[in-house]
Amino acid sequence: MKTISPLAIVPFVSVDNMMRLVLSVGVERFLVELAAYIEEDFCRWPTFDKTPRIASHSVDGVIELMPTSDGALYGFKYVNGHPKNMREGKQTVTAFGVLADVGSGYPMLLSEMTLLTALRTGATSAMAARRLAPNSTSTMAIIGNGAQSEFQALAFRALLGIRDLRLYDIDPSATEKCRRNLASLGFAITVCRSGQEAVEGANVITTVTADKQYATILTDNMVGSGVHINAVGGDCPGKTELHRDILTRSSIFVEYAPQTRIEGEIQQLPADHPVTEFWEVLRGTAPGRTSPGEVTLFDSVGFAIEDFSALRYVRDKLAGTPFYQELDLLADPDEPRDLYGMLARAELAAT
């Protein structure tokens, strides 16, 4: 049997091991620590390669690659978005990711990212809200109670202390699922019969719906002064959640403007409409919320640097744990140029 060189081994985090890792850390602590990694990487934003994600669209959904590098590490995520999957008993979003060493090109980590994407999305939303939401934030409306909703609630509690939730989904079973999952975790939960009812009294409004279509989840009359909107669901061309009039009276913050103009709520606006990339707020070169009555909008479509941060965090947390498998992923011949010789020796050993 071939002896596997340590150089050929790549840690792999399966869904089962990701769940074990998250639970060993604690979900809310995981979100807080992950948000810190994301904020750290946003603060060194200029050092990263940046490009809008590479998307392959179909009538059923989209498959995307999301790459970035800081010059020392390279990361990418493969992710899909297929709203119809839910009707077939499948996940709407699935993902996996790779972290690699730029110097050698060798992968250092292969990980599931379906669960990890939900965690990093919640962590990113709450990280931004700490700078953009009003100081008196106490209540959040979550419109769209699918796979992301519980992670949003837990992230906002962990980072902002929000405990009062107002839930609404056009599918009552989704709302009941969310309520049931959060019921024993110390939230005060109000199940609402409409989006209008959900936003009443909410300082933060999170929209996180799944349908791939132009939609109006929030109309202009539903959004009062001083509210922070965390728009998470609009994440591809032809998919929006907010009425255009909300955008024109909001201070808009995005991750990477060239990508958000293609995929986010601001695809409804002229290409020269002013927006602020959130890293500028963290680095102090642009203001966040400037007045109590201001309407702030985080038009979040997800960006590769957030996934890079998540992979970097998971790699660091794996040290000294059993929550990964060792994959014999890389060819490692005795002599680097003799790849065929490695194959020939394997044939000889098998006879």
How many whole angstroms separate alpha carbon 277 and alpha carbon 137? Answer: 23
> What does the pLDDT read at residue 33?
98
**Ramachandran region of residue 26, left (φ > 0), alpha (ψ -120 to 50) or beta?**
left
| CATH class given for the domain over 124-302 | alpha beta
Domains of the chain: which residue ranges?
6-115+305-340, 124-302
d(CA 351, CA 346): 9
Task: Decide if pLDDT at 144 tops 60.
Answer: yes
- Phi, psi (rounded to 5 degrees) for 295: -95, 115
pLDDT value of position 99: 98
Mean of the per-residue pLDDT values of the chain: 94
Looking at the structure, give the CATH architecture of the domain made up of residues 6-115+305-340: 2-Layer Sandwich (3.30)
Quick one: average pLDDT of 120-142? 96
- Identify the band that residue 236 occupies on the pLDDT scale cut at 50, 70 and 90: confident
Which residues, including other chains, have CB under 8 Å from residue 256's CB and lie 6 or more apart? Answer: 50, 52, 277, 303, 305
Of the pLDDT bands very low, low, confident and very high (cuts 50, 70, 90), residue 81 is confident
pLDDT of 89 > 50? The answer is: yes
Of the pLDDT bands very low, low, confident and very high (cuts 50, 70, 90), residue 212 is: low
Is 0.85 surpassed by the pTM of this model? yes
| Residue 259 CB burial class (10 angstroms; 0-12, 13-18, ≥19) | buried
Q: Which two tokens stand for residue 68?
A: 């970035």
pLDDT at 58 over 70: yes
Would you state the pLDDT for residue 62? 87
Strand partners, 254: 277, 299
Query: What one-character DSSP code corresponds to residue 3?
Result: P
Residue 4's pLDDT band, with cuts at 50, 70 and 90, is: very low
Q: Is the pLDDT of residue 14 over 90?
A: yes
Q: Provide the pLDDT for residue 233.
A: 84
pLDDT over threshold 90, residue 111? yes
Question: Distance between CA 265 and CA 280 in Å, rounded?
Answer: 20
The owner of tokens 């596997």 is: 4
- For the chain, the helix, strand and coil percentages under 3-state DSSP, each to the nearest 5: 40, 25, 35
Query: Reduced to 3 states, what is the DSSP secondary structure of residue 275?
Result: coil
For residues 255-265, average pLDDT: 95
> Is the pLDDT score of 139 beyond 90?
yes
Residue 43 has pLDDT above 90, yes or no: yes
Give which of 129, 137, 163, 157 is closest to 28, Cα–Cα.
157
Would you state the pLDDT for residue 344?
92
- Annotated catalytic residue, options 49, 60, 211, 235: 235
Question: Per-residue pLDDT for 129 more than 90?
Answer: yes
To the nearest whole percent, how much of the chain has pLDDT over 90? Answer: 83
In this prediction, residue 1 carries a pLDDT of 38
In this prediction, residues 8-14 reach a mean pLDDT of 92
* pLDDT at residue 168 greater than cutoff 90: yes
Task: Render 47-95 in DSSP notation, one character per residue.
Answer: GS-----EEEE-SS-EEEEEEEE-SSEEEEEEEEE-GGGGGGTS-S--E
Q: What is the mean pLDDT of residues 80-88?
A: 87
Tokens representing 252 are 């808009």
Res 332: pLDDT: 84
Q: Is 334 a catalytic residue?
A: no
State how far the Cα of 158 lies from the Cα of 177, in Å rounded to an integer. Answer: 21
